[in-house]
Amino acid sequence: MSKKTSTPNTPAVTDGGETHQQAQRDGTVLTTNQGLPISDNQNSLKAGGRGPTLLEDFILREKITHFDHERIPERIVHARGSAAHGYFQPYKSMKHVTRAGFLSAPNVKTPVFARFSTVAGGAGSMDLPRDVRGFAVKFYTQEGNFDLVGNNIPVFFIQDAIKFPDLIHAVKMEADRGYPQAASAHDTFWDFISLMPESLHMIMWVMSDRALPRSLRMMEGFGVNTFRLVNAAGEFRFVKFHWRPVLGTASVLWDEAVKISGADPDFHRRDLYEAIASGNFPEFELGFQIIDQETADKLPFDVLDATKVIPEELVPIEMVGKMVLDRNPDNFFAETEQVAFCPSHVVPGIDFSEDPLLQGRLFSYLDTQLSRLGSPNFHELPINRPQCPFANMQRDGHMQMLVPKGRANYEPNSIEPKGPRESPAAGFHTAPVPVEGAKVRLRAASFNDHYSQARMFYRSVTPQEQQHIGEAITFELSKVEMPEIRRKILGHLHLIDEKLGALVADELGMAGEAETITPAAPPVELEPSPALRLYGKYEPTLKGRKIGILIAPGFDGKLMSTLTAAIGNEGAKAAIIAPKVGGATDSTGTKHAAEMALSGSPSVLFDAVVVLAGADGDKALTANPDAVSFLMDACRHLKAIGVAGVPTLSERTHITGLAGVSELAASKDIAGFLDIARNGRVWNRKLPT
């Protein structure tokens, strides 16, 4: 056995004097948690160079102990999230409807922290499963924190909080086998849905392209539950909260989502972080749908039922202000992980409704923070701490971080007359909503219609969205092993829309097998609401989008520079890809750097693509399976495609002459390509067979 020679550690000499102290103050000296400077962070303390480690090594023990406890329980839902800091500013005073100070004047700028999340998967799951996205915003107002904890879909699966644990158990990985992760395409989920017709409206949304956002910057947000606004005169009205992305909405196709999940599981997180880091700050407008009691009474559904939307055509959305996300968190754990949202965090002027889902949420979030963050003092963590003064008589508890002064830790008291006291004028007042009735456990009859809005949604969206809904349901049900669950869902689909039911039954190879379902309330025809569409609602734009430019030897360098500049002028980003990350040489022999290598940059990562090459490059790309898939996928995913100098590759990938494919023979052709790209997908492209 060879005996390794070990070098004895030479303790670093510190003078303990001014130079060292300054360095420690500057944060350049490594210390223990007690502030003890560390001389060696590479070797543990041993008895002899090759001997056992000594228990005495308190530095090793402190480091490892801290490491062992680095994780806290992840959120039971919405575990995977990404967040950003920013601010909110109203467009105008909303004093006539709410006394909330942060909405009182256009010059009030309120800091915010927004966290976007998936629901079903664990913290390490990928960004692009088919799922609802959380859209939670903490407003640090001068009257306390207001948390608007919403989703990117305006309705919810269930009407009453008591069903939430069942819903989440059903959608999460199955209890015995521990899979699938972050996927609703399995028996337990669809079993639950098949027995809970109230979930069907939400199911239509979750099977739509809304559940596959292109970017967290390009999705709408909704408060979902109905809240109340209360003004200084004590008048109260119902309100639904809406967020609208300034970049417009965009979604990916299912095939893209599947491939992106492999190519870049952090697709959304990276996109948000990079956009903010490069100064392209995501912006969202906040809108209010304000509903007085009289209007609520006339609606054909209950405003307290979270499985229903209030169509904009019936009650318009008033835009009241804008949120700008302009700063990435400094530390993922301290901020994004430890942020604690609670729908019960409201400010004077905002109040709850009796929505039984919301009522349960008012309990759940505070409760979950206690187990997740481990202490009733979680509000003292920097990310959760109000940015206005706060004072009360609550004391002590695990991890108390404040040092309250004085003797009076009770109220009323006479020994500290300047201590905190209640304020009838400025304090929060619950709206004096009349309540009466016997204590009962029942679902109001006004909650009974489970099919009409599901039908309205399906009939309001574009044909492409309808097609994707049909495909998504077919895909999910194809993964369901028990045929009786599929049959029951088919029965529900028939009630929502005969054609949809027939289509899915046919695609499953189960035509005529739908179970007959008797609805609690027969569906009624509602006016379609075109505002529920995802496509064609926002102005076409390339802002915030990413165009992949694949370059290969002999390409036209001038064309590439003009194209890159034109893309920048659109507010989009050009990403240069080459077969090798070192770059590629243009027709004049100049080498251009690449940001990405082709093997790691499939076209699914981009909104539109361009391929530029000379004769040699064309030949090399045609022989490269990654280049072939790059173009074939872009074609299949209906993306705008620009090509120059790649006749052989174009032939090989069957893209020549297809709609939305632009030959970039000269710089003047760039505008045409960008016009197509601005519109998103080329829906009229006939795919080669």
Token couple for 125: 């799951």
**Contact between 303 and ligand HDE (CB under 6 A)?**
no
**Contact between 345 and ligand HDE (CB under 6 A)?**
no
**Contact between 606 and ligand HDE (CB under 6 A)?**
no
Stretch that binds ligand HDE, among 69-77, 239-247, 414-422, 622-630 (CB under 6 A): 69-77
515-534 positions binding ligand HDE, by CB under 6 A: none
Give the torsion through C-alpha atoms of 379, 381, 387, 393, to 10 deg.
Answer: 40
Tell which residue, 118, 123, 120, 155, has the closest CA to residue 136. 118
**Contact between 112 and ligand HDE (CB under 6 A)?**
no
Stretch that binds ligand HDE, among 3-11, 24-32, 311-319, 363-371 (CB under 6 A): 363-371
**Contact between 360 and ligand HDE (CB under 6 A)?**
yes
**Minimal distance, residue 117 CB to ligand HDE, in Å:** 5
**Contact between 196 and ligand HDE (CB under 6 A)?**
no
**Minimal distance, residue 188 CB to ligand HDE, in Å:** 18
Candidate list 103, 182, 224, 350; residue touching ligand HDE; CB under 6 A: 224
Nearest-Å Rg of the Cα atoms of the chain is: 29
Nearer to ligand HDE, 302 or 497 (CB): 302
Residues whose CB is less than 8 angstroms from the CB of residue 32 and which lie 6 or more positions away in sequence, other chains included: 38, 58, 59, 62
H or E element, residue 294: helix 293-298
**Minimal distance, residue 227 CB to ligand HDE, in Å:** 11
Measuring CA to CA, how many Å separate 405 from each of 377, 393, 409, 419? 17, 11, 9, 10
Nearer to ligand HDE, 197 or 660 (CB): 197
Indicate which residue of 78, 242, 345, 450 is catalytic.
78
Stretch that binds ligand HDE, among 33-41, 76-84, 375-383, 597-605 (CB under 6 A): 76-84
**Contact between 136 and ligand HDE (CB under 6 A)?**
yes
Residues whose CB is less than 8 angstroms from the CB of residue 137 and which lie 6 or more positions away in sequence, other chains included: 88, 112, 113, 114, 147, 148, 149, 150, 221, 243, 323
Candidate list 117, 194, 307, 529; residue touching ligand HDE; CB under 6 A: 117
Candidate list 82, 145, 151, 152; residue touching ligand HDE; CB under 6 A: 151
Stretch that binds ligand HDE, among 63-71, 150-158, 194-202, 374-382 (CB under 6 A): 150-158
Rounded to 5°, angle at Cα 436 from 434 and 440: 140
Tell which residue, 650, 639, 644, has the closest CA to residue 670. 644
Which parts of 392-547 fold into alpha helices (H)? 452-460, 463-478, 483-496, 498-508
**Contact between 357 and ligand HDE (CB under 6 A)?**
yes
Token couple for 43: 């070797």
**Contact between 77 and ligand HDE (CB under 6 A)?**
yes
Stretch that binds ligand HDE, among 180-188, 357-365, 395-403, 488-496 (CB under 6 A): 357-365
Please tell me what DSSP assigns to residue 31.
B
Nearer to ligand HDE, 91 or 164 (CB): 164
Nearer to ligand HDE, 84 or 339 (CB): 339
Catalytic residue check, 151: yes
Residue 256 phi, psi dihedral angles, 5° rounding: -65, -45
> Hey, which residues does 591 pair with through a beta bridge?
585
Catalytic residue check, 280: no
**Contact between 149 and ligand HDE (CB under 6 A)?**
yes
**Contact between 161 and ligand HDE (CB under 6 A)?**
yes
Burial class (CB in 10 A: 0-12, 13-18, 19+), 443: middle
Number of neighbours of residue 316 by Cβ within 10 angstroms: 13
**Contact between 548 and ligand HDE (CB under 6 A)?**
no
CA distance 28 to 596: 34
**Contact between 121 and ligand HDE (CB under 6 A)?**
no
Identify each DSSP E strand in 636-686 by its residue range. Answer: 640-644, 661-663
Q: How many CA atoms, within 13 angstroms, populate the side-chain half-sphere of residue 130?
A: 25
Secondary structure (DSSP) of 86-118: EEEEESS--TTT---GGGS-TT--EEEEEEEEE
**Minimal distance, residue 304 CB to ligand HDE, in Å:** 13
Site string for ligand HDE, 80-109 (x = CB under 6 A): -x----------------------------
Tell which residue, 292, 272, 293, has the closest CA to residue 282. 272
Sign of the Cα torsion 26, 32, 37, 41 reads negative
**Contact between 134 and ligand HDE (CB under 6 A)?**
yes
Contact call for residues 149 and 343 (beta carbons, < 8 A): yes
Candidate list 88, 146, 156, 238; residue touching ligand HDE; CB under 6 A: 156
Nearer to ligand HDE, 77 or 303 (CB): 77
CA distance 363 to 365: 6
Indicate which residue of 145, 151, 225, 328 is catalytic.
151
Unique residue bearing structure tokens 């599901």 = 454
Contact call for residues 170 and 191 (beta carbons, < 8 A): yes
Stretch that binds ligand HDE, among 358-366, 479-487, 510-518, 561-569 (CB under 6 A): 358-366
**Contact between 361 and ligand HDE (CB under 6 A)?**
yes
Candidate list 115, 210, 637, 639; residue touching ligand HDE; CB under 6 A: 115
**Contact between 365 and ligand HDE (CB under 6 A)?**
yes
304-323 positions binding ligand HDE, by CB under 6 A: 306
H or E element, residue 322: strand 318-327
Nearer to ligand HDE, 91 or 273 (CB): 273
Nearer to ligand HDE, 193 or 655 (CB): 193
Candidate list 30, 54, 64, 76; residue touching ligand HDE; CB under 6 A: 76
Which residue minimizes CB distance to ligand HDE? 134
Which parts of 519-600 fold into alpha helices (H)? 557-569
**Contact between 227 and ligand HDE (CB under 6 A)?**
no
**Contact between 78 and ligand HDE (CB under 6 A)?**
yes
Candidate list 58, 87, 164, 273; residue touching ligand HDE; CB under 6 A: 164
- DSSP SS3 for 254: helix
Tell which residue, 263, 243, 253, has the closest CA to residue 112. 243
Nearer to ligand HDE, 115 or 217 (CB): 115
**Minimal distance, residue 339 CB to ligand HDE, in Å:** 6
CA distance 9 to 40: 8
Nearer to ligand HDE, 211 or 253 (CB): 211
**Minimal distance, residue 17 CB to ligand HDE, in Å:** 47
Which residues contact ligand HDE by CB under 6 A? 75-78, 81, 115, 117, 134, 136, 149-151, 156, 161, 164, 224-225, 306, 339, 341, 357, 360-361, 364-365, 368
Catalytic residue annotation: 78, 151
